[in-house]
Chain A
Amino acid sequence: MFSRRHLLAGATALGGASFLPSIAHAKGSVAAAIYPGTWEEAFRAIVAPALKKKYSVDLELQPLFAVDQVAKAKAARGAPPFDAFVLDPGPRITAIQDGLFDRIDLKKITNASKLPAGLVDEWGVGVNAQVVGIAYNPKKVPAPKGWKDLFTDPWVSRLGLTGFQTTFGTVSLIEIAKVFGGSETNIEPALVELKKVLPKIAAVGQPAAMPSLFQQGQCDVMYTNTQTVATLKGRGVDIEFVKPETGAITFLTTLHIAKGATDVENAYKYIDIVAGKEVQEALTKPPYNFIPVNKDVPLPDYLPMKSLDEMSSFVRHDWAKINPLRAGWIEKFNKEMAK
C-alpha cells in the first residue's frame, strides 16, 4: 500500500519532472512560432539543422498561423509561449500596436547588411517576400493581362475567389478595387463589380482550399502568390503566374522577438541564420519555393523579377490603414457574396 506521504512524494517528483524540459530549454534552444504547412516543413528541414550546426541551439517550432500567434501572445500577457514570431504585414501592425515585440538590436544580426533596404526595421527582420499576382491554367484559358480581365469572359466563369481573411486575398481585392476606381481604403468598387458577375464565378472558397480547387479543375484562374504556383507546378498541375499590368503585389514576412522572450540571445541567432545566405538559398529550392531576400542568393527563373531591387517597383500596401477597415470588409464580403 502507498502511504499518503509516498503518494505526495511521487506526485512532487512527477510535477518536478515536468519542469525538466524547461531547464533544457534555457540552455540552448529557441522556441519559434511558424506557419503550419510549407513553412513548418522547410524550417524543420533547413533552419533547425543549420542553427544546430552553427550555434548548437535547438530550434523548437510551434506551428501557428499569424493571427493565432498574435492571439496567443496577447492572451499570455507578457509571458509569450514562444520567443520569435513570424508574421505578415497585417498581424505585424496589430502586434506592434499591442506592444508584443521587443525592439531589435541590428548589431546582433550580422546578415542585416545583405538584406535590401526596407526589409529591416526596429521591430523585425524581413526574411521572405511574397509576390502576389494572377495564376491561370494555360491549357484552359488564355493568359489574362490584368485584374480587369478577371471580370470578363472567358476568365470570369473560371474564376476562383477568396475574401479578406488572408493577406494575399485582401491585397488582391484592393488591387481589383483600384482598377475599378477604388483605393487602398475603398474596396467598394471591387464588391460592386463582383456582385455583377457573381452567378458566373466558378468558386468562392476558403483560402486554404484554393490550391486543391485549382488542382481539381474547379477553377482555372485565381489570385495567389508565386510560392503556391511553383508548388502546384512541381506537382504537375498546369499553372502559370502572370504579373498583372498594374504591377505585381509584394509584401514581406518578418521575424520578430517576443517581448518577455526567455531566450532572447538564441532568438537573435535564429533570425540571423534565417536571413543568411545558406538558409535562404536552400529555402528557394523546390519543394519550398520561397522568394529569397538575401542579396547573395540568385533568384529562381520563374519569378516575375530579375533582381530584388526590382521589387521596389511592386505594389505595396499600408496595413496601418487597412487593419481598422478589415473587419468591416470581411462582414461586407460575407453579405454581398452570400447566396
Chain B
Amino acid sequence: MLVGVSFFNDDKITQPGFGQWAKFLGDPFSYKVIVDTMMLGVKTVCATVLIGYPLALVYLDASPRLQKVLIFIIVMPLLLSVVVRTFAWIVVLGREGVVNTLLMQLGIISEPLRLLQTELGLVISLTQIEMPLLLLPLISVMSRLDGNLRDASAALGASRWRTLFKVTVPLSMPGLVAGCLLVFASSTTAFISQTVIGGVRLIYLPLLIWQQSLVVFNWPFAAVVSLTLLVSVLTVVSALSYLGRRSGGYVHG
C-alpha cells in the first residue's frame, strides 16, 4: 500500500508517477532531516549505553533484594504512558523547571539554561524514556553469564577493567546489540517526545510524516517520507545486528 501510494504525483492519488520521490530526494532539506533523525538515534543509543551499561553491571552485583528494587525502577518508565513521561520532562527541563531552579539556587548559573527545545534536552529525556528497552535485554543476557568466567579472568591476572572489556563486554554483546536496536528504532520514531520536547524547530522524519498525512493531506508525499524512515532505520538496524553477529563470532572463534 505504502509503496503503491508513494508513486502518485498528486495528493488526490490519481496520477501515477515519480513526482513525490523526485520532490523529496531533490531537496537538500530532506537529507538534513534524514541525517538529523539518524543522528538523534545514534546520540540516544550512545547516551543510553553510557548510562545503562554501568547500571546493568551494578544490577548484576547487587543483592537479590536490591535487584528487585532496581528492576522496578528500570521497568517503571514503561508503565507510564509516553505522553505523561514526555510532559513530565517539560516540568524537569523547563526554564523554571527542576534542573534550572536547582542550578540557579546553587549559584552555578545566573540565567536559566535552554534545555527544552534543544537536541540536548531531547536526548536527555529520550535516554530516560528508552532506557528500559536497553536494560531489559542486556540484563537478561548478562545474568546468564557464568560468574566463574570473571573469576577465572581475575585468577589469570587480569585487572578488573581488562576483565570487563575482554570478558564481560564481548559476552554481553548480543544483549547490548538487541538493546541498542530497540533504542535506536524507538527513539528515531518517537514522534511525541520529539515534537513536545524538541519543539518544531528540530525537524525529524516523523514530524514530516504527520504534517504531510494529517495536516496537508498529501498522502503520497507522506508515504515517501515514511518509506525513507523505514529504509534508513532498517539500514542502521541491519548494520548494527551485523556488527553484533560478527562480534559474537569473534568471541567464540
Contact = CB atoms under 8 A, between A and B. Distances in A.
A206 B197 CA distance: 9
B14 to A, nearest CB: 13
Nearest to A207: B200
Contacts of B33: 338
Contacts of B202: 338-339
B200 A205 contact: yes
B95 A71 contact: no
B215 A330 contact: yes
A338 B35 CA distance: 13
Interface residues of B, number: 28
Nearest to A335: B29
Given A163-B200, A204-B200, A334-B203, A209 B215 contact: no
A252 interface: no
Contacts, number: 81
Interface stretch (A50-58, A212-220, A289-297): A212-220
A68 interface: yes
B116 interface: yes
A208 B217 CA distance: 20
Interface stretch (B86-94, B102-110, B127-135): B86-94
Interface residues of A, number: 30
B150 to A, nearest CB: 45
Interface string A86-106: 000000001000000000000
A65 B195 CA distance: 18
B32 interface: yes
**Top 9 nearest A-B pairs by Cβ distance?**
A327-B216, A217-B96, A216-B94, A206-B195, A204-B201, A209-B196, A205-B199, A337-B201, A218-B94
Given A70-B217, A206-B195, A339-B119, 16 more contacts: A67-B214, A71-B213, A71-B214, A163-B200, A205-B200, A209-B199, A212-B90, A216-B90, A216-B97, A218-B90, A326-B215, A326-B216, A334-B29, A334-B200, A337-B200, A339-B202
Interface of A: 65, 67-68, 70-71, 94, 162-165, 202-206, 208-209, 212-213, 216-218, 326-327, 330, 334-335, 337-339
